[in-house]
Structure 1
Amino acid sequence: MTQRIALITGASRGLGAALAEELASRGWHVVAVARTVGGLEELDDRVKALGLPGAGGLTLAPMDVTNEDAMRHLCLSIHQRWGGLQLWAHTAIHAAPLAPAGSLDGKDLDKSIATNLRATGSLIPMVEPLLRAGDGTALFFDDPRAGSKFFAGYGATKAAQIALARSWAAENAQIGPQVRILMPDPMPTATRARFFPGEDRDPLHAPREVARRLLASL
């Protein structure tokens, strides 16, 4: 492969979109996955507006990471077109409304499990061969809310996702692919605004700056 290929799941906004923009500006080709078509199109417009010589491009993949058939077809297409991946950044998340553990909504909990845990568990076997073929790296992003009050649904499923990633990292420490778990700085994202409405956003870090810092740590 002559071009570096990245898969970003959850790429329409927040950190996922910032990573896609930053990688494209460095010449990567990014396969951007998200449910929101409008968000992906806005991302595409921003990347094209960069107008940088040698900038990479995007392949927009509007789909839900919980749709295993769609994700399996996408991974097959990546294999057929490029042969492998150099990076997978998994930023897709379901942030259920805050609620006491004694008042969890069953539908919200099921969606949190499906998106935050089950989708991750099904994606790892699909993406692992692509990363091995491309000598690639998988990135996960921790958010240690587990055990905090009112974060029962989100915190428990996010912690389970990270536990799954840690097991995968330990299993592949000697043989690859490399699996990294990073801690982003707090950012003024829509998800954070749902958790902390009315928060002073001035001290928060711009997603693009966070993306640069995280990529520099690799």
Structure 2
Amino acid sequence: MKKDCPLISEEDNYYYIPMNMSKYHHEIYRKVDYAFFCLDLKNNKCQEALCNCDRKVAECWSALPNVPNLTICLSCYMDDARQFAYVHIKGLIDIQNLLNDQTDKADKIIMRGADNEELMVRMEVALYSIEQCHELIEKIDLSFNELFNETQARVIAYGKTAEEFMTQNRTTEAKAYVQLSNHKNTIINLAIFEYLKERKTTFSIIDKLHHYVHNLKNLLRL
């Protein structure tokens, strides 16, 4: 259920988003693939890039104008963002459940022991699951990219429509399209964060399963 949002008073002059919730690329709407790749890296250069990203996001949010009597809050935005990426996030969670099941089965064998044949079967099944999950993640990535790019195109179109209305002195319609464009742009950028968060969790589980496969291999008797 969506949360009720408080009204922002005229005294409020900023929107607050904790920086640990904004690990997306500053221009991720144009470079989604690069952002995905960055989150998979484990080196200082990537961490530095994420830090710079946070700085840019902070600058962006702090520059937002004061909009009195506007119903808005982060929790509502996050609800909308997860709904926007629901199908893709659910796909990643399904993969996580599959991988966790394989991890649990491997752990049980490690705890009770098994002969070489059972160990080999469990290793092969786990490795096959990992391979299949990589393929599924790639398909989900492509689908999410398409959805994001299509929505971003609409955001740009809303902005152009607002400019056209403004040149015609139709300020009411122009402001409406500006608000629509800004709202949709916020939603899809937060959706990226939610999607990447689940994606990172998925790869962490893959790494964990790889570790269990290594442990199974060590149990093989020569």
Q: Fold match, TM over 0.5?
A: no
TM tier, smaller: under 0.3
TM-score norm. by structure 1 comes to 0.24
Structure in which a larger fraction of residues adopt helix: 2
- Comparing both structures, which one devotes a greater share of its residues to strand? 1
Query: Larger Cα Rg: Structure 1 or Structure 2?
Result: 2
Higher RCO, 1 vs 2 (CA within 8 Å, ≥6 residues apart): 2
